[in-house]
Amino acid sequence: MLVVIMFIVCSTALLSWSWVRGIDYMKENHPDYKGEDFLDWGEDADVTKIAGRDLWDEYDEHTTHYEGDF
């Protein structure tokens, strides 16, 4: 049991140390990076259209579906 606990503690410490090193690296080498290009939605993007939910509106405008309809 002690071996499992030590393994969890050591792996968590290693993961945390790597994460902090990565954050420090980005802060030093890329200080102006904001992460806005991660999903690249743009400024005027509508999340529902990007997710493909606008296709439902084309076919099912103003209709209600119930469980028995499917």
Is 59 a residue whose pLDDT tops 80? no
CA distances 23 to 5, 26, 39, 40, 57, Å, are 27, 5, 19, 21, 42
Select from 45, 49, 28, 48 the least CA-distant residue to 37. Answer: 45
pTM: 0.49
Is 27 a residue whose pLDDT tops 70? yes
pLDDT computed for residue 2 by the predictor: 94
Helix-strand-coil split of the chain, %, nearest 5: 60, 0, 40
Mean pLDDT of 7-23: 97
Is 28 a residue whose pLDDT tops 90? yes
